[in-house]
Structure 1
Amino acid sequence: MAIFQTVAELGSFRQAAKVLNLSPSVVSHHISKLEEHLGTPLLYRSTRRMSLTDAGLELLAASQRMTAAAQDGLAAIQRRAKQPFGTLTIAAATPLAQSPYAEAFTRFAQTYPDVHLKIQLDDRSVPLEGSTIDVAIRGRTKELDDSSYKARKLGNLQFCVFAAPSYVHGRPKPHTIEDLADWHWIQSSPISWTDFARSADGTAPERTPKIVATCNNFALARKFVDEGLGFMIETYPLVADDIRAGRLVHLLPRAKLRPIDVYAIYPANSPKDGIAHLFVDFMMNQAWAAEHSFGLR
């Protein structure tokens, strides 16, 4: 139909062939095949001139509408590539609502104002299969469990152990994970005490501290810590400013807890030029991540 439209609008097989970068015989062949398919002539040909039949006039109008719609669609895709738009649904753990992690979402939104960010925060691993989630940001110490999804490692996050000065005051200074067995633990992560201890020195602990509260929300767990109810273990960037300012005490600054790997997980059939890939690339390539203590290395 596009070849027919070009011939009809130019009034010449030879000119149409030149515009389409085809040979005149190929152009004539396509027109003949189209007429054969429709069962009616579309063009009257003579040695001096060419004219359209009634069917040809009707088909030309339909073809022009089709071409215009296709051009509009292609232009829309090109505009989308230059300035992406649409809804991007992201699943992440509740600590990512806190500074400095929240700045990642803010800067993406500022860079791509036509993208509607829909962020779902939950410390449970929400199943991705059958969901509308475009990208999930997850930390793992074991293999990923979303086998039908692709994953790109963003980096890793270092844990630290901290408490409020009011809780630390009067207690003997701890030097190892084992020294915390007599303290009170505000548990905000699903990782067990044994896994934490093994990440520090590779051995299983003989004793476990008393858990005084378990929260699947960082903000609430942090409130318990601020009130002096016990210590907490979380990623260092979340509390770095408070430790530097003296609002929190870093209990084991020399302990090197094994960092947790952080992945961006997205559907395997996610378009490479879609906004999910755009977001992951954005997270991977931002130099400001290190400058603002995003915590990924």
Structure 2
Amino acid sequence: MDRIDAMRAFITVVTEGSFTLAAERLALSPQLVSKHIAQLEKHLGARLLNRTTRKLHLTEAGTRYFQRAQQVLSDISDMENELGDMQAHASGLLRISAPASFAIRHMAKLMIDFQQAHPAVDIDLQINDRKVDIVEEGFDIALRIGHLKSSSLIAKRIAPVRLVMCASPEYLQQHGMPKSLQDLKAHRYLRYSYLEDDANQLAHRWLRSSDRARSNELVCNNGDVLVESAIAGAGIALQPTFISGAAIKEGKLTIVLPEYEPEPLTLYAVYASRQLLANKVKCFVEFLDGYYGDRPYWDQFD
């Protein structure tokens, strides 16, 4: 027995005053309506209606059930309408995970612009370089950088992520400008610790290509720290231009060995499924599409 259908049949019988009229309104046979009521009474263990040949009478139990059942069906209708509105219009809480440096430097305006276009959407932005489990941790969408491996998640390309080797002019004046990959052996490498886990391991090997043990190396899991260290003259860093681009444009950093620049990575918007996608997620993905462009503003320094 479908209790919702049985409840709806009972309420309709009471409001229409007969099984026949209720059946017409519900587009069911009178026999099926009668069966719904009988099953409901059996389930509840109480008679809800007293039937005579001319009229229906609610029992005491039926009166109480009728009042409560009306409220239950009204709540269900309100809930369905609310969910329908959420699917038709972008609303509700949108939970986003994003890499720390990218979010801090480039997402504030994005969030403001999106909420101006969709004022009914609240945003909970969590910044973390850790790769979150979207489903397990309750995120609607995550921004990720790299070459994504195949998975059940849906990935939408948002922007290219250019990687460059760079150092301060003062550092290069003191230690010399590398002319080849071999020359990198003589330089201090400011290493991003997550790079080894990325698809761009080749670039990591370029800067580690020495037969001797290295010493005095700086390793960090935050690109901003490494870029600031490079600006201060600590060594050569391999970092995305969304972190280093402003310093390059201002002359605080110089690109090293541009002819060996790695293949760009990609910024993706990742979410769980295309089916029954909440409109708040759909609208955010559509808003992201083209927002930064094929040549983002942070790359416009050369």
Aligned with 2:66 (options 49, 57, 60):
60
Contact 2:12 2:22 in 1 (8 A): yes
Question: Post-superposition shift, 1:164?
Answer: 2.1
Q: Which amino acid letter does the alignment assign opposite residue 153 of structure 2?
A: K
Deviations 1:34-65 (A, max 9, x none): 34443425142424x44433333222112112
CA distance 1:110–1:165, change in 2 (3 Å): farther
Pair 1:260 & 2:265 matched:
yes
State yes or no: 1:224 paired with 2:223. no
Q: Which secondary structure state, in structure 1, belongs to the residue aligned with residue 277 of structure 2?
A: coil
- Match of 1:74, as an amino acid? E
Q: CA deviation at 1:118?
A: 3.8
1:72 is paired with a residue whose SS is: helix
Q: TM-score, normalised by structure 2?
A: 0.73
Is the aligned partner of 1:33 residue 2:39? yes
SS in 2 for 1:69: helix
Percent identity, aligned pairs only, is: 22
Name the CA shift for 1:106/1:241 in 2 (closer, same or farther; >3 Å). Answer: same
1:287 corresponds to: 290
Residue 238 of structure 1, CA deviation: 2.8
Name the SS for the 1:288 alignment partner: coil
Normalising by structure 1, report the TM-score: 0.74
RMSD of aligned alpha carbons = 4.1
Match of 1:233, SS state, is strand
Structure 1 unaligned regions, length at least 5: none
In structure 2, the partner of 1:4 is 10
Which sits farther off after the overlay, 68-77 or 169-178?
Answer: 169-178
> Structure 1's 177 and 19: CA in aligned 2 closer, same or farther, altered over 3 A?
farther
Distance 1:185 1:111, change over 3 A: farther
Q: CA deviation at 1:221?
A: 2.0
Q: Secondary structure at the match of 2:194?
A: coil
Asked if residue 186 in structure 1 is aligned to residue 190 in structure 2, the reply is yes
Alignment of 1:101-180 (within 5 A): 103-113=109-119, 114-122=121-129, 124-125=130-131, 131=137, 135-140=141-146, 143=149, 150=153, 152=155, 154=157, 157-169=161-173, 172-180=176-184
Task: Give the Cα–Cα distance (whole angstroms) in 2 for the partners of residues 127 and 261 of structure 1.
Answer: 19
Structure 2 regions of 5+ residues with no counterpart?
1-6
3-state DSSP class of the match of 1:191?
A: helix
Encode CA deviations 1:219-273: one digit per residue, 9 max, x unaligned. Answer: 22222122222221111233334333433222222223133355555668x9943
Is the 1:100–1:293 contact (alpha carbons within 8 Å) kept by the matching residues of 2? no
